Amino acid sequence: MAKTQPRGPAAEPLLPSAYPSPYLDRHHSPPDADLSSYVLLVPIRRRLRRGCRCSCLAPILAALTLLALAFLLWPADPDVSVARLSLAHVSVVARPAVAVNISAALKVRVRNPALFALDYARLDVDVAYRGRALGRVTSGGGSVAARAVSYVDADLDLNGIRVVEDAIYLLEDLARGSIPFDTVVQVEGNLHFFFFTVPVKGKITCEVHVNPQNQTIVYQDCYPK
């Protein structure tokens, strides 16, 4: 009588898998498996990411360096301020026509913030009354070293300046004891940027109220323009 085969799946021999896991685990490997047939694969993904980060940071650092150099080397306009304003004489004449006489001395502070020397040809001082120009005084030029400060003296002397359209306002200010004047100080020069010459300009406006009776300055406010 023939023997019947046992039911159920046939037993298969324990053989190493044709495609082993890339990671070797001794605890889960079959006891009779030949460990020499396994291949240990080490991932290199982290090394590739680090190289990508370095290659991305290089152009960013180069761009930041160029921006810093441009900020330091870019030509800047000089800073102009009034260090001292001394009033010598101011008067208003009503006959034969309404005219004003002004004599003052200014000391202008010129600061060069650039990394190159500044050469300016002249320093102009404009005086106006209620927005109308009365006259201009021009001082000599000079030179200011890089990151340095220089002082320029300017003598303001305007005599017999006729005021026709604003004569009524001038007489009212004279009676009130305070005459407002606008003083604009402007410096124009050139910065020597290696082999190039870059024109620059600095300007400041001062509102000055003077008392013609006691020859004093009652109010002064300066601001860059």
Domain boundary among 15, 48, 73: 73
Considering the domain architecture, whether residues 43 and 89 belong to the same structural domain is answered as: no
Q: Report the candidate in 140, 55, 151 with the shortest Cα–Cα distance to residue 107.
A: 151
Q: Is position 87 within any domain?
A: yes
Q: Which of 165, 182, 157, 184 is nearest to 91 (CA)?
A: 157
What the block records as the tokens of 73 is 């080397």
In a shared domain, residues 142 and 42: no
Which domain, by its residues, includes 68? 35-73
Residues 49 and 84 in one domain: no
Question: How many domains does the chain fold into?
Answer: 2
Quote the strand ranges of 36-178, DSSP E.
79-93, 99-112, 118-129, 132-144, 148-162
Positive or negative torsion for Cα 28, 20, 35, 39:
negative
Is residue 164 situated within a structural domain?
yes
Whether the Cβ atoms of residue 146 and residue 117 lie closer than 8 Å to each other: yes
In the sheet that 99-112 helps form, which strands lie side by side, from edge to edge?
Answer: 79-93, 99-112, 148-162
Q: Considering the domain boundaries, does residue 53 fall inside one? A: yes
Here the tokens at position 9 are: 């799946």
* Interatomic CA distance for residues 135 and 155, integer angstroms: 13
Same domain as 137, residue 54 = no
Note whether 50 and 131 are same-domain residues: no
- Please check whether residues 117 and 53 belong to one and the same domain: no
Residues 121 and 166 in one domain: yes
The verdict on residue 188 lying in a domain is yes
**Residue 137 falls within a domain, yes or no?**
yes
**Which residue, among 183, 179, 188, 181, has the nearest Cα to 223 in the 3D structure?**
183
Domain boundary among 73, 92, 124: 73
Whether residue 101 is found in the same domain as residue 132: yes
Specify the CATH number for the domain of residue 214. Answer: 2.60.40
**What is the rounded CA–CA span in Å between residue 101 and residue 156?**
10
Residues 61 and 95 in one domain: no
Is 29 among the domain residues? no
Does 83 map to a domain?
A: yes
Domain closes at, from 14, 44, 73? 73
pLDDT score for 211? 94
Return the structure tokens found at 147: 């990151």
Q: Identify whether residues 110 and 187 lie together within a single domain.
A: yes
Cβ–Cβ under 8 Å, residues 122 and 140: yes
Per-residue pLDDT of the chain (225 residues; tens, 9 = 90+): 444 555 555 555 544 555 455 544 545 555 555 555 555 555 555 554 555 566 777 777 766 766 665 555 667 889 999 999 999 999 999 888 899 999 999 999 999 988 888 999 889 999 999 989 999 999 888 899 988 999 999 999 999 899 888 899 999 999 999 999 999 999 999 887 777 788 889 999 999 999 999 999 999 999 987
**Secondary structure of residue 147 in the 3-state scheme:** coil
* Residue 120 and residue 50 in one domain: no
Residue 102 lies in a domain: yes
Distance CA 17, CA 222 (A): 90
Pair (148, 98) in one structural domain: yes
**Virtual torsion, Cα 40, 43, 47, 53, nearest 10 deg:** 180
Are 134 and 124 a contacting pair, CB within 8 Å?
Answer: no
